[in-house]
Structure 1
Amino acid sequence: MKRVIAGISTAVAITLATAVPAQAAAPAPADPIKALKSQFVVGKGMKFTDLSVVIWDDESEPYLQRTGSFQFGKTGIIASDISSKSAKKSSDPRAADPTGIFAPSRTIRIGTTSYLSGGSYRESMPEGKSWYKDQKGMTGGSSGWFGQLVNIAEPATLASLLKGAKRAGVSYSGTTTFGRLAKVSPWFRATLPLRSSDKTVVTFKLTVNRGGLPQRLTTSHAVTGIFDGPGWEGKTITVDTRFTGWGTKVSIKAPPASKVTAKLKD
């Protein structure tokens, strides 16, 4: 009998010992950097949506909505197409908007050349023209200032975020700064060529799928990092970006030449 009890005890101990690993934390997703680079196929790309919200005290206000797509080449992004519109619930089209941030806009960027329509350019176009060509233009016009500044489709930017980030399942969280982003990200430099402080801290949370591809990115930072004005003191902007359609066919082309101008009205 003692031998039987001893045998049962041993079997139970072995079962418990082998059961512990099964209850451990879920395995890490595939390497996000490798997963991203695997998407760099000519003629392929992905889509994304942004929702920007400005937060202060106990209040918050939806600010901008953006939809866009990236077209990839063998080494990364070769073109982007971004449309923006106001997300304000009380948005009045007659209200003063000198920056054009809330006016519907669209930016097509091929290489470093941007074609901008609407937004802050809506009232400056010569007759018959609807697109302004800027050889080294911003990624999303003035709407980009309140859009997603962090581009996880850039391997160097993604690597910078993941370095030192805390992982929980398929999510990574941490912080970076405008200064670090400016060093590694051409997208950031083109989106926000002028800013008030490179010391601005950006808090982020990135969620990937099991294959390592980004699915959602949420970032937050003080608005005074962009505009150093008393009206923005104590206000934070949070941008929630969703990524879809990885590996789908994307073809982004310049607007018709007949609709493009390189000179705006005075």
Structure 2
Amino acid sequence: MEGRHWREGRVRVLHDTALAQPPAHWWFDPAELERRSLVTGRGGGRGSVVFFRVPDAAGGRPGEGSRDEPPQWVLRHYLRGGTIARALGDRYLWQGLQETRPWQEWHYTARLYDEGLPVPRPVAGRVVRLGPTYTADLITVRVPGARSLDENLGGQGVSEATWRAVGACIRRFHDAGHWHPDLNSRNILIDPKGEVWIIDWDRGEHRPESATDWRQANLQRLKRDLEKRLRIRERWVYSEACFSALLAGYEGARPR
């Protein structure tokens, strides 16, 4: 896939050339999306994620909906975490356009998509420069009917076969050299067909083939997340056997 960008004053927008027209400003405005009755839901920390129906002006591409569900997109506003968020909130230090979070994530996700890996297709990214800082947003395609592993484990849980599928999916990315900086249960999706997707590739990296220790570190990060949520969630359908099944899927997966 190819990207193109435009600039208008303080605003820079990068988008998929498959769109019928360049993104409008209001595509990145949750209030305007609400006013146009396009919002279908919200999620993410502090309401930073908005799900909405694809605007008619976008021409229906990219965004493959199911037969029973029209295509939707996901708007995510970048928010800082930790103590630095108290000082900067949603602002990031400007170090050049190519170094901005949505520019890097859009291009990296496009690379994963082109490699045939299970990631949502990136649609558009926006940067609004504010002197030495900027704010940022990213729009991606919503995987039809998908629920996060987190949602599933907070409900009825998932089968051993699904745990194996999660492991096999992670192995596909690892074999291709892709490291996810925040591999956790919220960033793993399972669609109605049982297919597994990995989302939110902000700060993702391609690691050299000569280095392999990062693979186990990545898996252990996910394990720590799952065990932490077992301690803090009132309902969390997870046990050591679940992660053993994930590892079995990971070890049994063969490079594609």
**Normalised-by-shorter TM-score class:** under 0.3
More helix by share: 2
Query: What TM-score comes out, normalization by structure 1 length?
Result: 0.27
Q: Higher Cα Rg: structure 1 or 2? A: 1
If asked which structure has higher relative contact order (CA below 8 Å, sep 6+), I would say: 1
Query: What TM-score comes out, normalization by structure 2 length?
Result: 0.28
More strand by share: 1
